[in-house]
Every structure is written in structure tokens, then in C-alpha cells.
Chains A and B, each alone.
Chain A
């Protein structure tokens, strides 16, 4: 068990980075508390796998330090770091049985045979692999193999953190949710720090207590799933999380009041906008937009059926504004007026929440 701290971390894959663009990971100062369930969420290429490999020691960062419980382990190789990693596709030792796979990390570290055997049996039970312990690992299905990968991590008692690199990628869709709930359950039982990298927001939001959203090498926001949903610090977070994502529209702020297409809009933070701020935008989630008697005039463009709800696209001044309503609610035909929940409407400057 350990607290993981990243101090002044930056990483570039090129040996001579010149500008910010050469860095896969831009400056990070992060702390992961002991025993937490974290998700690293972001689109492909945002640097999440790089970050994971830095933590596990498979990659040495170009700058910065990494500490486990205040001990600088930046120079330590992976096998001395008390971490375990589960990869995108199942990595198992084909020629060994399930039992031998589970015992492998312990035997390599010199643990006595009976101890290794006992641990393997315990973990196998945790993962529901007990009845296939003596089968050859090569013959299992993808989810079984991933469980073995996970098992090899759990089997070591000194493991401070388990890192997952998009582990459900090769799992059949109907087994994904099963494995996902198993992982959550495991975390609760085992109480070890788990860091789960994914580009799938459902996986992230259901697994993690706290989610780290990344984009383009930067950490954009860290928060609980509901914090991310309710109060995104960056338009990217708003757009990436939730389906459909947050509405973003250009706006002006004059005298502490926000205006969109000439009409005043009530927000929580327009008064905090500094003089001369650029790239001003309004952000509001479709869930918090509704049709009203008084409000912004819009043209109804499209209505889409999304199962139990419907997504309505409306248009004003060249910007599409989406609403999310329950199915069955009446939608005006051509023109309508919409109102925003002022407590959920925020102003963003250059993408960042104005505070």
C-alpha cells in the first residue's frame, strides 16, 4: 500500500525535445492516495498509457521524480517497484498451467514453495478460477486470461498499486460488464490502489472513485464522476463526458453579464470574468436545457430517438444547442424558446472554467 506522488514530471519520447509539442506528458504534479480506485480517462494519444508506464517503471521519465510513500523510486526497475500491470491483451505464459502462472511471480522472488502455492489458491478463489487451476493457460478464453494476468498482480502481497492499461479491449462486449463489476468488487475487498487507463467513459465512471481526465499530455481535471459531470473545469471534460456531451457556445461578457447572440444569459460565474479575457464560451449540459415560455429563441433542427430519451438539436446564430429530454415529451415543431438552468451554466475562457 502506498501513496504515489508525481513531482515535476514531464516526458518526451524524443531525446532532444525543443518545444512543448515534443512532450507526450506535459508538466504533472499529482498525488494518488493510498487504496484509491482511479481512472485515467482520455482520447487516444493523450498520454495516459505513457503516464501508466512511467508509474510502473517500464518507462523512465525525461524529467521529474516519482515517489512511493515519499521514497524516490524514479530509478528503480519495474520488478523492484511493488507494482503490477495488466495489459491490453492477455499476457500469460502459454506453456504453464493457471496455477503455475499465478505462482510464477512469487517463485521468481524466492518465496518458499508452499507459501506461493497457498497464495495462488487464495487468489484463484477470489477470481473464480479455482476449478481450472490445473488447466493449461493457453486454452482459456480472453477474459479468463485477463483474470490470470490480474491474478499475477494480486498474488504478491507487497504490491502497492495495480495498473490497468485498457484491459477490456479484447473482451467480448457481453462479458465486459461482468469483468468490470468484478474489478470493482475486487478493489473493495483488496483495498489496493488501482489505476485504470481507458478511453471509454462508461468504464472510467463506473470503476473509479476519482477520475483523472487527460488531453494532449495534460491533466485537465481530477474529480469524482459526479464532480466531473456537474462542474467540468474544462470544456474538454464537458464534451468528453456524458452522452451527448456538454453544449459549448461562444459568448461575450459585458459588465459582469454573459450574452449569447445578443441575449443575456444567467450564469454562475460571469461576474468573475477578467477584463480583456478571450475565447469566452458558455457551457451547459443538454440535461439542463429545457423548452420554456420565455427564453432564447431557437430553430428546431432535428429530433433523435435515443431509447428512453430523445436528443433535440436546435440552432441559433449558427451554433447547435442540444437538449436531452425524456421520450414522450412534446417537442415544438419549428421555432421554440429554450431556457438554461442558471446554476448549471458556466463561462469558460480558452476552454478553462472561469473562477
Chain B
């Protein structure tokens, strides 16, 4: 291997070692973890995973997380599309200020909003629902989606729109049949980032749910505190949270470089 790639290789190894350790732990019993120290499972066991797949409190956690993440991604991208189009094509009074204000929400510390969100969503009766988390996450995902989509849309020349109108398309027809396919990569990227930030966020997801819509992250923290350290189970749960992310990255791998360009780089 060329010397040039050594830095990259070391970096990737650095990234993978803790993950390997997690996987290692997930196949051990808690007794073995606390008792012996080994780099591989001496007594390989699947009981941790079995527990997760058979106990509803566990697997529902995953289901819940996937539900609200999917809801949020769809919602964020859907409303961001027309807004991004407006920012890209039109100039209207206050547009730059509005754009900046949107971005400031991305900067907000979740901790600041935890308590107010708790009160707000309880007040409107959405406490402990998937919708609540999906809506709460739009606070930072919508600005991000708008920013990314606007970047991609600005890369599409206005002549495309004008040609479509000359060809007799209505605005709706043009938008759906012509424009959206053109920025498909941008939509993929925006959806990826929305998924990513919603999937990994814990504080608000935990605050706004109790039992019904509890995300997997909350179940995991409960385990760590109440029944002592069930490390093997925790590790298995952790491994399973990495898998959806890995799958998503795999699907968008060709767009990652393009995506991080955000159309603006």
C-alpha cells in the first residue's frame, strides 16, 4: 500500500477499534465481561441479542425510533422543498433575514428547549407520541434541509423553469415532473442529514416520550441505571443502533462527497 494512505488507514483503524470492542462485548455474557478480560468472546453467546429481539420493551424502542425519524425526514424535506425553491428563485422582503433566522435554530442548544418543549407538547396533548418527537426535531432539521436544498437548487439554472413554462407546463407539473428529478441528489442528501440528526438526537426524544413512543436510546439509559450494569445487553443494543445508520450510508455512499459539498463548496 502506498505510504500516502497510511494516515487514512490509521484513522479508519482508530474509528473501528471502539466499535469492534462494542461488538466484542455484545457477544459476551455480563458475567464474562465483569470477570475476565479478553479481546474476543471466550464463550460466544447470542443471548443478549435474543433478549432484545424477544422483549417488546427493547425492540419497540427501535421501532419507535425508526417511526419518528421517518416521520420527521418526510415532513422536513416536504416543507423544505417549496421554501428552498422560494429562497433560490425569488427575492422577497425579508428573505435574507428569514434565511438567517432559520439557521439560528440549528444552533440552539437542545438543553435550552428541553423543559419548554416538555410543557408545550404536554399542553397540546402530544406528550409521548411519535409525532411530538418528529415535530420537535423539525426545529433543527427543517433549517438544515432548506439550506442543503437551496444550495442544490441554485445550481439549476432558471432557464429550465422558463423553458418548462414555454412548453406549457403548469407550475405544479413543472415542479413535480421536471424540477424534482433534476435535484434528486439534493433531496437524497437532505433526507440523509435529516435522518442522521433525528436518529442520533436523544435529549428531546427522551424528554417528550414516556412509554408508548420511547426511543431505543431511552431504553438503553434505563438499563444502565436501574438493573446495574447489564453491559452485554447494552452493547448488543448499541450494535443494533449502528446498523440502520450503516445501511443508510451504504445507500447514499455515492452521494456523500457531493452531499457534503452542500451544493455550495
Would A and B touch once assembled, by the CB under 8 A criterion? Answer: no
Query: Which chain B residues have a beta carbon within 8 Å of chain A's beta carbons?
Result: none
Query: Which chain A residues have a beta carbon within 8 Å of chain B's beta carbons?
Result: none
